[in-house]
Amino acid sequence: MVKGIALAKRTTDAMSKNASLNYDTRYPSIAALKQRAMRRLPNFAFDYVDGAIDDELAKRRNRQAFHEVHLTPRYLRDVSSVDTSVKIFGNEYSIGFGVSPVGLGNMMWPGAELALAKSAQAARIPYVLSTFSTTDLNLIAQQAPDVCWFQLYVPRKLEFMEDLIARVKRAGFNALVVTVDIPVGAKRNRELKNGLKLPYTLTPKMIWQSLTHPTWALTTLAHGAPDFVNVARYRSGPDEGLSEFVSNMTIPGLPLERLRRIRELWDGPLIVKGLQVEENFRQAIDCGADGVIISNHGGRQLDAAPATVDTLRSLPSDIADKITVMIDSGVRTGLDVLRARALGATAAFSGRCFFYGVGALGAPGAKQVIEIFRDEITRTLQQLGCLRFEDLDSSWLASSEG
Ligand SMILES: Cc1cc2nc3c(=O)[nH]c(=O)nc-3n(C[C@H](O)[C@H](O)[C@H](O)COP(=O)(O)O)c2cc1C
């Protein structure tokens, strides 16, 4: 009897790995991975990724706005093969979707950042490493040499900023992404309620949550507590707690002269992340930026922020002619990537999708997310009758889109 059940389970498991799909179909969507991550991670870790600011309205608005972008399919053409690739700053990527920077990544799953970087390299999609990542930037650059970009939270002290940019350059990162949408630390209620604070120490509540999630707890124990290894050297001393360090280190609002200085120091592609208003896009262009990522930080900073899709839609066309426009915040499906493309974005990114993936499945979750997106992008291009991702433009928007 027991043997029969085991055999039936093996058969079901084998069936669930659909031969034509390159991922585990028991978790066929980001929504399914999110459900599993919620069960598998202690609340404080899941909430850190999933949570947003205040009532989390901007996070919801981001999704809603994607839902409202409608595309019209074209039939009567052969779509047996489609080209999903895209060129960004002269580099070819296999799909127009990449990994947004996420700080403290290894808290969600030990080794998550390296697993994501390696999978991004294998799949050839952009991987953006956060300033507040917990894996040595040199290791990431070695393991993901063709696809690694570095995200910069600008240090207050000019000499720290210059030193960090020099290290990133020496390591061989392909692009620098300057995040400008955190002039002040956000009040995120889930984090406060869970007692998540830095230094990353376990409160009794967090210990209880960890004990009830033994796989996560044992893996974390084996790896040790994550630390901001790439910026630890800029700490003023052992007495400076990590949270003080984070707010002391970063600049409270980035003045334009700093952005100009960054442009002087960094000769590769320079991207400004977090812009939402026309005036700022024009300033970024004036400072010599090559690209922007339209982002509201996944709804984590300002609950009244417009949905990024709406910002993209209202961007004056001459801006997109002068600079590479990308987007994140709310992307959850391959269809969303195509919606963004039709609205004028070169590529789209997400932070949470990837961390739901590794939270749900550990390191293999990185590839699972990429392959779900590859499959959805491919099928949707076929469904739309668009043979090349790069050909998808506003002519595919439903006429109600204007
Ligand atoms: C847990 C978490 C940590 C983040 N840390 C950073 C960071 O260190 N630097 C940064 O520029 N953005 C950071 N972001 C924002 C993401 O880069 C990205 O803008 C956001 O995740 C997009 O929304 P989505 O995850 O809903 O797709 C973080 C987001 C999350 C969810």
> Rounded to whole angstroms, what are the CA distances from 180 to 2, 253, 274, 297, 306?
58, 7, 6, 10, 16
pLDDT at residue 202 is higher than 80: no
The model's confidence at residue 286, banded by pLDDT at 50, 70 and 90, is very high
pLDDT value for 188: 85
150 lines ligand 1 (CB under 6 A): no
Helix (H, G, I), strand (E, B) or coil at 344: coil
Q: What is the mean pLDDT of residues 197-206?
A: 69
What six digits make up the tokens of 377? 């992008």
The model's confidence at residue 401, banded by pLDDT at 50, 70 and 90, is low
What six digits make up the tokens of 319? 């801006």
Calpha distance 247→72 (Å, rounded): 47
374 lines ligand 1 (CB under 6 A): no
The minimum-distance atom of ligand 1 relative to the CA of 51 is: 31
pLDDT at residue 9 is higher than 90: no
332 lines ligand 1 (CB under 6 A): no
- What does pLDDT average to over the chain? 91
pLDDT value for 199: 58
The minimum-distance atom of ligand 1 relative to the CA of 331 is: 27
Sequence-separated (6 or more) residues with CB below 8 Å from residue 337: 95, 96, 97, 331, 347, 348, 373, 376, 377
The model's confidence at residue 122, banded by pLDDT at 50, 70 and 90, is very high
Roughly what angle, to the nearest 10 degrees, separates helices 214-223 and 204-211?
A: 110
pLDDT value for 400: 67
Q: What is the mean pLDDT of residues 199-215?
A: 75
Measured in Å, residue 322 CA sits from the centre of ligand 1 at 26
pLDDT at residue 18 is higher than 70: no
Nearest CA to ligand 1 atom 3: 102
359 lines ligand 1 (CB under 6 A): no
pLDDT at residue 16 is higher than 70: no
Q: What is the mean pLDDT of residues 278-296?
A: 98
Q: What is the mean pLDDT of residues 177-183?
A: 95
pLDDT tens-digit readout, 69-120: 999 999 999 999 999 999 999 999 999 999 999 999 998 999 999 999 999 9
118 lines ligand 1 (CB under 6 A): no
Q: Which of 70, 213, 223, 297 is catalytic?
A: 297
Residue, of 249 and 166, whose pLDDT is higher: 166
pLDDT at residue 17 is higher than 60: no
| Contact present, 381 and 82 (Cβ < 8 Å) | yes
- The share of the chain scoring above pLDDT 90, in percent, equals 78
273 lines ligand 1 (CB under 6 A): yes
pLDDT value for 198: 64
106 lines ligand 1 (CB under 6 A): no
The minimum-distance atom of ligand 1 relative to the CA of 296 is: 19
Nearest CA to ligand 1 atom 27: 350
Residue, of 222 and 255, whose pLDDT is higher: 255
Is-catalytic flag, 297?
yes
pLDDT at residue 394 is higher than 90: yes
Calpha distance 275→39 (Å, rounded): 34
Residue, of 13 and 393, whose pLDDT is higher: 393
pLDDT value for 187: 82
Nearest CA to ligand 1 atom 19: 297
pLDDT tens-digit readout, 341-373: 999 999 999 999 999 999 999 999 999 999 999
Cα 264 to chain centroid, rounded: 27
For the chain, which domains are there? 28-401 (3.20.20.70)
Measured in Å, residue 72 CA sits from the centre of ligand 1 at 31
pLDDT at residue 170 is higher than 80: yes
Q: What is the mean pLDDT of residues 138-165?
A: 97
pLDDT value for 200: 64
The minimum-distance atom of ligand 1 relative to the CA of 131 is: 8
Q: Could you tell which of 44, 131, 300 is best to mutate to test the pocket of ligand 1, judged by most ligand atoms within 8 Å of the CB?
A: 300
DSSP string covering 72-122:
----SS--S--B--EEETTEEESSSEEEPP-TTHHHHSTTHHHHHHHHHHH
| Contact present, 380 and 334 (Cβ < 8 Å) | yes
Q: What is the pTM of this model?
A: 0.93
CB atoms inside a 10 Å sphere around CB 243: 13
Q: What is the mean pLDDT of residues 133-145?
A: 98
- The share of the chain scoring above pLDDT 70, in percent, equals 92
pLDDT at residue 14 is higher than 50: no
pLDDT value for 138: 98
The b/e string for 96-118 (b: 16+ C-beta within 10 A; e otherwise) is bbbbbbbbbbbbbbbbbbbbbbb
Sign of the CA dihedral with 371 first, then 350, 360, and 111 last = positive
pLDDT at residue 387 is higher than 90: yes
Q: What is the mean pLDDT of residues 229-236?
A: 92
Q: Say which amino acid occupies 67.
A: H
What six digits make up the tokens of 400? 């109600």
Q: What is the mean pLDDT of residues 255-283?
A: 98
pLDDT at residue 319 is higher than 60: yes
Measured in Å, residue 25 CA sits from the centre of ligand 1 at 27
